[in-house]
Copies of this chain bind each other. A is one copy, B any other.
Amino acid sequence: PANAIPTPTAPPPDILRCASMELVVTDLAASRAFYHDVLGLVITEEDEQTVYLRSFEEFIHHNLVLRQGPVAAVAAFSYRVRSPEDLDRAVAFYTELGCRVERRPEGFSKGYGDSVRVEDPLGFPYEFFYDVKHVERLAWRYDLHIPGALVRLDHFNQVTPDVPRAIGYVEDLGFRVTEDIRDAEGTVYAAWMRRKPTVHDTAMTGGDGPRMHHVAFATHEKHNIIAICDKLGALRLSNHIERGPGRHGVSNAFYLYLRDPDGHRVEIYTQDYYTGDPDNPLVSWDVHDNQRRDWWGNPVVPSWYTEASLVLDLDGNPQPLTSRTDDSELEVTIGADGFSYTREGHEGKDHDMPSWKQGEYKLGHQL
């Protein structure tokens, strides 16, 4: 399309996986309590301004950085690459795209060696690193595990106005699309793309962007996710539960969405499927299929569609937002003029979408 991001002639870095996110938080003690005391992420290292946390099966220094700052935002989406040479490739790739690129031999975070940060063509602060401090993999340390143990960082989710444009760029970066949400007119509402052979390392969600929609950690089993909810209830912190738990249509995973003390959204996620074959079949969902985002058809709460975190440029200032001009998923499904179905072709028949499936916006109009 006309607005496509050009494909660089330089090869992309060989990305292994999403590896860490750096969150700027406005009350470090509150965020530390949420991610460590409540969710149980392990603190690898911390100082007055920063806390470095990891999941129980991780062997690199951290999967999450909490950094005290004036405005809640995301400072970096960090990917690990296969070799030190891939950092040179990242520099060349983004330089050719005309992006701002920074490289620091000592890394941008503690625990990292040489790393590269860029303001990518979509406005996101992407980071690449190979060299990293190894720490104890706590997989076997069941004496430390809690009922809701988070065992891996699974994926990022980004909000961007033009999803096909974003797909073109991340495919150039070496990602493959595994699933998407579309409509009959060809509008793409969201797409999931992977490097490691899971459903995704990141996803692009259509909306005003660049913003960070959520960061997701994996548990082993579904009961672990339920245990997180139960604990939040016991601590009278259930207001942090925004959506779920439920079963996704897209990805087939079991999920839960939380909001941290700054409103950053965290997903807890388990049991998607292997996608590592080059001909792994793309799964396309109809935006009107009421089971696409929740396989049980439970309504998505409006805030989940509308709220997301700011992202920072390399100077630490929030990136301005560009509005989505394509249709909004919320509006075409549960908004005043939208519709969804449980069984395609049964719209309006057979109790296909009873009141309890229509969601808050739809119901709101009826009151």
**Chain A residues in contact with chain B, CB under 8 A?**
16-17, 57, 59-60, 80, 82-83, 134, 137, 139-147, 149, 151-152, 196-197, 220-223, 226-227, 229-239, 241-243, 245, 247, 249, 252, 254, 259, 271, 273-274, 276-281, 290-291, 295-298, 301-304, 342-343, 351-357, 359-361, 363-367
Q: Given the known inter-chain contacts A296-B238, A354-B303, please indicate yes or no for A80 contacting B277, CB distance below 8 A.
A: yes
Offer 7 A-B interface pairs, CB within 8 angstroms, sorted by A.
A83-B278, A137-B273, A146-B146, A223-B223, A301-B355, A301-B356, A363-B364
Bound Cα distance from A281 to B133, whole angstroms? 12
Complex Cα gap A77–B57 (Å): 30
Q: Are B296 and A234 in contact (CB under 8 A)?
A: no
User: Nearest Cβ distance between residue A151 and chain B, in whole angstroms?
Assistant: 8
**A66 CB, nearest partner CB in chain B, Å:** 18
Best-surrounded residue of A149, A239, A363, A365 (most CB of chain B within 10 A): A239
B259 with A142: CB separation less than 8 A: no
Q: Out of B145, B234, B277, which one reaches A16, CB within 8 Å?
A: B277
Q: Inside 8 A of A151's CB, which chain B residues have their CB?
A: 273
Q: Is B295 in contact with A140, judged by CB distance below 8 angstroms?
A: yes
A142-B227, A242-B354, A365-B367 known; 15 other A-B pairs, CB under 8 Å?
Answer: A17-B274, A142-B231, A146-B146, A152-B274, A196-B197, A196-B274, A221-B221, A232-B296, A237-B342, A302-B355, A359-B360, A363-B364, A364-B365, A364-B366, A367-B367
The 8 Å CB contact of A354, one of B147, B239, B254, is B239
Q: Chain B residue with minimal CB distance to A355?
A: B303
Query: Shortest beta-carbon distance, A180 to chain B, in Å?
Result: 16
A367 CB contacts on chain B under 8 angstroms: 361, 364-365, 367
* Inter-chain contacts of A17 with B (CB < 8 A): 274, 276-277
Picked from B59, B222, B274, B357, the residue with its CB within 8 Å of the CB of A226 is B222
Chain B residues, CB < 8 A from A353: 239
What residue of chain B has the Cβ atom nearest to residue A144's Cβ?
B234
Complex-state Cα separation, A245 to B360, whole angstroms: 18
A302 touches B363 (CB 8 A): yes
A295 to B220, Cβ gap below 8 A?
A: no
CB of A230 within 8 A of CB of B276, answer: no
Contact B142 A356 (CB under 8 A): no
Contact of A247 among B230, B237, B359 (CB under 8 A): B230
